[in-house]
Amino acid sequence: MLHVELVFDHTHPIGRLSHSGLADVLVESALSAIFDLEDSIACVDVGGKLIAYLSCRGLMKRYLSETFEKCGDPATRSLNPDRFFAGPNGVDVSVRGGALLLVRNVGHLMTNPAILNLDGNAVFEGLMDVMITIVIALHDLKKSHGLGNSVNGSV
C-alpha cells in the first residue's frame, strides 16, 4: 500500500497562498528499489565495486547523502526518515522512509580482480557480490531500532 501525506502549514511560502494552507503533498513513490551491481552501471573495476558497496552500506545503514550545486548554491539530498503517525484507532502507524532494497547480483561467469584467490586469480564477480552484500545486509538484520530494510529479517 502506498501512502500520501498532505502537509498543511499557513506559514509556509506555498501554504500561505492557499486558504486551506496546503503547503506540500508527499507521495510514497515505491515499495522497492533495485540496487544494481552489474557492469551496465560501470561497476567493472575495483574502484567501481568499492563505490557500489559503500553506497549499498550507506543505504542499508540509512546515512547516505550527497551534496551538489543547484542554481549556484550547495544542496544536500539524504534519505527520508521513517515516519510515525497516530492511527484512527489510537494505534501508532509507521511508514518507511525508504524503499525495500533489492540487490541484483549478476556477472556470475565474469571475474573481477578486486579479490584474488590463493592462486592469484580474480574471483567470480557474482560470488564476490553475493558475499559482500550479505555482510552489508547484516547491518539490517542486527538493527535494534527503527524500521529495517526487511521487516521479516530476510536477505
Single out the residue of 148, 111, 108 nearest to residue 130, CA to CA: 108
Given pLDDT bands bounded at 50, 70 and 90, which one contains residue 51?
A: confident
Per-residue pLDDT, averaged over 64-92, amounts to 89
Q: Which helix (H) or strand (E) holds 25?
A: strand 22-27
CB–CB of 149/100 below 8 Å? yes
Tell me which of 27 and 16 has the higher pLDDT: 16
Given pLDDT bands bounded at 50, 70 and 90, which one contains residue 119?
A: very high
End-to-end CA distance of the chain: 22
Paired with 116 in beta bridges are 122
Per-residue pLDDT, averaged over 60-77, amounts to 90
pLDDT at 49: 84
